[in-house]
Structure 1
Amino acid sequence: MKESSVEIDKTAGVLKLLGDKTRLTMVKILDTNDCCVCEFVEIFKASQPAISQHVRKLKDVGIVKEKRRGQWIIYSLNRESEFFPLIQSLLNHLPNQDFKLKELEEQGLRISCE
């Protein structure tokens, strides 16, 4: 009985994190593309510290993972996460966000850190 309430608490925490529109959109984008913070800054028109805070929260619960590429950190969806099946089913109900990256490409801002 105790174990299931822990799972419910953890799942509620993840859903609370994903209840934020910016973070939910980030996760949807990361479902199909890896991104760096600078791209999210452009997409969301938010400050780098604000975006980093969102990414850190997602990383802390294991939804997002990071990989260093030179001096840049590239973020991707952690498909090994215990929450990935839940996240995947949520993402299936959301509209594709790839157009946001297309807009960045057209502005010459896609992976501007490489």
Structure 2
Amino acid sequence: MLVKKLSKKNIWLNKCEDNKKKIEDKYKKDIKFKILLNEITASRTELYSSWFPGKREMDYVDLVMQQGAEYTSMGDIFKKKFKNPLVLGLDHPKMADFYSLNIDIPVIYGKPKYV
């Protein structure tokens, strides 16, 4: 919904695809980033296995990369559309790093409280 208000579908999809390639490249070349992404994957394995019971654990790395590309793309759009954006996140704090992968944007995360 937010993306719909701030961008167009084809621009969004292209941005996500470009950012996924950047994440994949960084995963191959940057050991610290690879460790971070693997930690995120490990922390989300239980969730992903409930969403996608037929997938293997290595498939979850790709899911994190795809979600990370979406977060990175949101950060890019926020920075382009707003003068001094601040992201307030409540989903999963480990995903915060993706917002500022391409640009400098402050991100604050609260603890998710699921009902």
Higher helix share: 2
TM-score by length of 1: 0.28
Greater relative contact order structure (CA < 8 Å, 6+ sep): 1
